Chain A
Amino acid sequence: MTIYSFYIFDRHCNCIYNREFTHLDHANASGVGQVNKNNDSNASKLLFGILYSLKTISAKLIDSESEAETAVANALKSFTIGPYRAHYLESLTRLKFVLVSDDNIDNLQAILWELYSVYYIRNVVHNGLSPIEFKQSDDFKENETVGKISNSGFITETDQFLQSLRFFN
């Protein structure tokens, strides 16, 4: 059981955080990988496209108003593509958290919720030096840290959290 990568998309459809984990069978060191390297890559765009379509389908196939016990729209939890499973959580503020794992992991909703409610809130929202709006006008590209979550607190804490999970490797 393995976790391959972790994405956060904001409500403007931008990928604001991308963490890829390299594992033993791919490289000599475990747990290292890239941070915020593939935010604008095809993979992240394709992933977002799939998420968006499947989210629409999930909400459309079940009418939330006709079912008394579900006041909110039917939420997408995960989907499987080949050997990968993407776990998905969307906050009410329309932040989208995605963890890509292998297809042996059933459910990562609790983990996604913790990433949002503990680590995102603590290191991004409560951090006065981190923006919470990542959309930038096009002329503002002074440095590569703009438009992404790149503060060290968030990166190290989420890395530690994910690597401590028993199914990380």
Chain B
Amino acid sequence: MTEDILDTQSYVNNSCLQLLLQELVPTSIRVSHRLHDSTSTTGASLANSTEPTQADTQLSSVRNDLPGTVNVLESSLLNNDEVTLRIETYGYSLGLKLAEVLLYKNTTSGTKLVDILDIMKFVCRDVWKCLYNKQMDNLRTNHRGTFVLVDNNYKLIQKLNSPKGIHDTLAKSRVYLWLPCGIIRGILSSFGIESNVTAEITSFPAVTFNIHTGINN
């Protein structure tokens, strides 16, 4: 019998993973800035990128974007489609691969995924269990292809707290939510379901995922 890849998993430090994921949005903004700069040829000052990063190295053309600071989130590109799409795409390909790994496990345990509701339950249970070691707190559907998934304490944004108050916290947290949206869309896509996933923060840190599919159930 072959070795089970999910049983041989090794542990990843939770803090490190959280901190790594928090770099997602800043990195995406920086990439967009770099792309804009190179087309408008003003990015010449950042050209010597072979130098190792120092405490006073400007990371992008955003003003005062230095290591250890969060000024990059003040960028006008924060809600730019290009930035959010990059994050969503990242989640999407993660979701596609994750579905494969989890399904491999699932087929051996004998569960059958027959209709779309089973697939949604799979997202709520197995996928969330794998990602966050918990299940979704609520699953609702209108039986016409729209599903609402609620996580009452969503881990990725749970610790975020902006010095500028709750409105700023919400605005910036929303950008991070494109990652799980992408993951869900990627999972569904690997089942052959085309969908449209958006997320909203109902009462921080509770997150509601709205999934629109073309399938009537």
Interface residues of A (CB under 8 A from B): 122-123, 125-133, 136-137, 140, 143, 145, 148-154
**Sample (15) of A-B pairs whose CB atoms are under 8 Å apart:** A122-B159, A123-B161, A125-B19, A126-B15, A127-B160, A128-B70, A129-B73, A129-B163, A129-B172, A130-B162, A133-B55, A133-B68, A137-B64, A148-B163, A153-B161
Additional 20 contacts, C-beta under 8 A, given A127-B159, A129-B70: A122-B159, A123-B161, A127-B160, A127-B161, A128-B22, A128-B159, A128-B160, A128-B176, A129-B161, A129-B162, A129-B169, A130-B163, A131-B68, A133-B55, A133-B66, A133-B67, A148-B163, A151-B161, A152-B161, A152-B165
Asked whether any CB of chain A lies closer than 8 Å to the CB of B144, the reply is: no
Tell whether, in the assembled complex, residue A136 and residue B161 are in contact, meaning their CB atoms are under 8 Å apart. Answer: no
Tell me the complex Cα distance, A152–B204, Å.
14
Say yes or no for B63: interface residue by CB 8 A criterion. Answer: yes
Closest B residue to A136 using CB positions? B64
Chain B neighbourhood of A151, CB < 8 A: 161-163
Query: B49 contacts the other chain (Cβ, under 8 Å)?
Result: no
Contacting residue for B69 out of A131, A148, A153, CB 8 A: A131
B22 closest partner in A (C-beta):
A128
Q: What chain B residues lie within 8 Å of A143 (beta carbons)?
A: 164
Q: When chains A and B are docked, how far (Å) is the Cα of A75 from the Cα of B85? A: 51
Alpha-carbon separation in the docked complex, A52 to B66 (Å): 27
- The answer to whether B172 and A126 touch across the interface, beta carbons within 8 angstroms, is no
Given A128-B159, A129-B169, A131-B70, decide whether A140 and B18 contact each other with a Cβ distance below 8 A: no
Q: Which residue of B lies closest to A143 (CB)?
A: B164
* A-side contacts of B55, CB under 8 Å: 133
* Complex contacts, A122 vs chain B, CB 8 Å: 159
Tell me the minimal C-beta distance from B18 to chain A in angstroms: 6
| Interface set, chain B 1-59, CB cutoff 8 A to A | 15, 18-19, 22, 25, 55
Determine the distance from Cα of A137 to Cα of B73 in the docked complex, in whole angstroms.
Answer: 17
- Chain B positions within 8 Å of A140 at CB level: 63-64, 71
The one of A125, A130, A132, A133 that contacts B161, using a Cβ cutoff of 8 Å:
A130
Chain B, residue nearest A128 (CB): B22
Give CA–CA (A154, B161) in the complex, Å: 9
A123 to B161 CA separation, bound complex (whole angstroms) = 8
A150 CA to B161 CA in the complex, in Å? 10
Q: Are B159 and A145 in contact (CB under 8 A)?
A: no
Kindly state the separation between the CA atoms of A13 and B40 in the bound complex, as whole angstroms: 39
Q: How far, in Å, is B180 (CB) from chain A's closest CB?
A: 15
Closest chain B CB from A145 CB (angstroms): 4
Against A, the Cβ 8 Å flags (1 = close, 0 = not) of B59-99 are 00001101111110100000000000000000000000000
* A154 contacts across to B, CB distance below 8 A: 161
A152-B163 Cα distance, complex, nearest whole Å: 7
Residue pair B163, A126 in contact (C-beta under 8 Å)? no
Other-chain contact of A130, B25, B70, B165, B176 (Cβ < 8 Å): B70
A141 to B71, CA, bound (A): 12
Contacts of A126 in B (CB 8 A): 15, 18-19, 159
> How many Å lie between the Cα of A130 and that of B65 in the bound state?
13
B198 CB, nearest partner CB in chain A, Å: 21
* Complex-state Cα separation, A122 to B161, whole angstroms: 11
Closest-CB distance, A10 to chain B (whole angstroms):
10
Q: For A148, what are the chain B residues with a Cβ–Cβ distance below 8 Å?
A: 163
What is the distance, in angstroms, from A160's C-beta to the closest C-beta of chain B?
A: 15
